[in-house]
Chains A and B, each alone.
Chain A
């Protein structure tokens, strides 16, 4: 027990605490001649940065705009894959395959797919007669945000499908047979048997995914690098960009805000779902 605690303390908490002090100092790698204590100045610089509002809005859109479609589509896929049909294993493997690829690589692939001049997306849309001329997906801030969301939805659906499918396997067939005998339709079976039965898995999966998506800069970095005009940055990509510029003080302040935000979210989310579980029981 003690060695494990020492290990965690040395390799996790010490760097965290040591790093956190940078948030309260002027710590710019471009000029380390002055690393004095600046109090909350780095936090003030985060909040007063002209990009802050956009970054915060984008982060909300990024998390909600990714989670909801991923959950819905992932659920539908899991229900479909639960049925027994020919080549089910092959379908499962194909659907789960994207999860094995790195987010950054997916970002680069989608960057080429959404390229306005040579990308397959414009090509297909033009052939289908949906657009007259190529759309500059990644050159326009709003369209770029839609493009990164589409890529992330595609990437993350798999995770929900895997988790929900695993949970669905645990629902006893007798429950469905009893529901069928009672004359319950598909919708009623879904909402009164399937969802309540796998509710804990759903809650935990959503919680995990919110944290992961919030902390998932790879895809945006590969696809837009946060541009154009810094308009597709979320908190974590922005933090990395500030780090790359050498402003460790400001980046650390942002990092502390991220940790605090996620902790608060987790506590509220778990409290909210626990209450409901207690009421139900």
Chain B
């Protein structure tokens, strides 16, 4: 009896081990299964990716892709844990804010050699090619698109408030948002970002105010080498931003992150929203506001009439622990060119990586036209790189988000906030030398 039980246990264990191994190694007919993890998950995006993967599998019958889609809020944490374990991930979504720490930990594979001479590079925009390389010429991810800010606005509300066109500057935004703001009617001017990633919009206004002085290679640096937070204009910027919160934003927006801001604009309660293009798809589906009621305008400028457009990006990379790098490179090439890339950027509302997309009528009309306007006027809408790839970015986000909340709740003055941010970056850059 005991012997039979032992045999059964051994058999079960062997079966489990073999099943486990089948996901790692090619099976009898040579089929390879890749594990692919996405980070910025949402249901329609996951369906879109599954469709693209199905096309890839059709072209490559010997490769199967198993898509893993953790909930967005915990995705990067989950990916981090998977990467730390050293196996179980082949392809993964790498963001400009995660590439630094993950590559520093030795979790990402440098694809530079595999992609040398790849035809796909020629079809890509300069921004995309630039974003795919780090300072040492290594390629840890190939971008699938860009996220850039534009101003979502309510056409009907600004007209009712007596304005003929959307604001072009932060001052005008403050004026229009304040005029529209009427809490008694539960109507608010601006969808303020006070919660997760609050630092990004606070930095956007600071960068707009110092646009003339900013170092294009590092959006947190002035041309004189000091931080943008040390400039006198930064204080004016933050004071304007604080007034925008006090005079034109819902009080609860002190804790608003991405979902709350988008929801507030989509349900018709706020007149202005600063967001990435992916929101176009979400707002278009709104049942509370019609397509005639809203549009987008280029990112608002500072006093000089210029502004800074920090392009955020993400893309597809390979885990260093992957045992199927050649197949994964194949998958990344497939997703980064031709119809697959165009479909992904269009349906996921992203600034495209392919040059050909700028000629596409899809990007020239409606809410997308503001992005074309910004692209056509690079002297007004300056493209800058933010130091998002540094290993301390996560620490910076935590600190700066908490500081923005302190400022809007009156626990910290704009001056104190700027002094702290200036000291933080100065010290980090000193340590880096």
A244–B77 CB distance below 8 A: yes
B251–A116 CB distance below 8 A: yes
CB distance from A19 to the nearest CB of B (A): 13
B101–A138 CB distance below 8 A: no
Q: Which residues on the A side are within 8 Å of B411 (C-beta)?
A: 229
Binding site of A, secondary structure by majority: helix, strand, loop or mixed? Answer: loop
Binary flags per residue of A127-141, CB closer than 8 Å to B gives 1, else 0: 000000110101111
> Given that A227-B405, A229-B406, A230-B402 are contacting pairs, would A29 and B101 also be in contact in the complex, using a CB cutoff of 8 Å?
yes
Closest to A223 in B: B255
Pick the residue among A140, A225, A243 that contacts B409 (CB under 8 A). Answer: A140
A215 close to B (CB within 8 Å): no
Q: Which residues on the A side are within 8 Å of B406 (C-beta)?
A: 229
Q: Which residues on the B side are within 8 Å of A228 (C-beta)?
A: 194, 254-255, 405, 409
Q: Which residues on the B side are within 8 Å of A29 (C-beta)?
A: 80, 84, 101, 105
**What would 23 A/B residue contacts be, using CB atoms closer than 8 Å?**
A29-B105, A30-B104, A30-B395, A31-B391, A32-B105, A33-B104, A33-B105, A116-B250, A116-B251, A117-B186, A117-B252, A134-B183, A134-B251, A136-B254, A139-B254, A224-B255, A225-B255, A227-B254, A228-B409, A229-B402, A229-B405, A243-B77, A246-B80
> Given that A30-B392, A139-B409 are contacting pairs, would A225 and B195 also be in contact in the complex, using a CB cutoff of 8 Å?
yes
> Given that A228-B405, A229-B406, A245-B395 are contacting pairs, would A117 and B188 also be in contact in the complex, using a CB cutoff of 8 Å?
yes
A32–B77 CB distance below 8 A: no
Binding site of B, secondary structure by majority: helix, strand, loop or mixed? Answer: helix
A118 close to B (CB within 8 Å): yes
A115 close to B (CB within 8 Å): yes
Q: Which residues on the A side are within 8 Å of B194 (C-beta)?
A: 228
Residues of A within 8 A of B (CB): 29-33, 115-118, 133-134, 136, 138-141, 224-225, 227-230, 243-246
Pick the residue among A118, A138, A245 that contacts B255 (CB under 8 A). Answer: A138
B105–A117 CB distance below 8 A: no
B255–A31 CB distance below 8 A: no
Q: Which residues on the A side are within 8 Å of B391 (C-beta)?
A: 30-31
B186–A31 CB distance below 8 A: no
CB distance from A275 to the nearest CB of B (A): 45
> Given that A116-B250, A225-B255 are contacting pairs, would A30 and B101 also be in contact in the complex, using a CB cutoff of 8 Å?
yes
Chain B, 385-417, CB within 8 A of any chain A CB: 391-392, 394-395, 398, 402, 405-406, 409, 411
CB distance from A102 to the nearest CB of B (A): 15
B322 close to A (CB within 8 Å): no
CB distance from A45 to the nearest CB of B (A): 13
Chain B, 183-200, CB within 8 A of any chain A CB: 183, 186, 188, 194-196
Q: Which residues on the B side are within 8 Å of A117 (C-beta)?
A: 183, 186, 188, 250-252, 269
In the assembled complex, the Cα of A21 lies from the Cα of B391 at a distance in Å of: 24
CB distance from A221 to the nearest CB of B (A): 10
Q: Which residues on the B side are within 8 Å of A224 (C-beta)?
A: 255
CB distance from A183 to the nearest CB of B (A): 57
> Given that A227-B195, A245-B394 are contacting pairs, would A31 and B104 also be in contact in the complex, using a CB cutoff of 8 Å?
yes
CB distance from A58 to the nearest CB of B (A): 16
A246–B394 CB distance below 8 A: yes
In the assembled complex, the Cα of A246 lies from the Cα of B106 at a distance in Å of: 16
CB distance from A122 to the nearest CB of B (A): 10
Given pairs A117-B269, A228-B254, A245-B398, 9 additional interface contacts (CB within 8 A): A32-B105, A115-B252, A136-B252, A139-B254, A224-B255, A225-B255, A229-B406, A230-B402, A245-B394
Q: Which residues on the B side are within 8 Å of A225 (C-beta)?
A: 195-196, 255
B405–A116 CB distance below 8 A: no
In the assembled complex, the Cα of A225 lies from the Cα of B198 at a distance in Å of: 14
Chain B, 87-123, CB within 8 A of any chain A CB: 101, 104-106
CB distance from A128 to the nearest CB of B (A): 18
Q: Which residues on the A side are within 8 Å of B105 (C-beta)?
A: 29-33
Closest to B251 in A: A136
CB distance from B182 to the nearest CB of A (A): 12
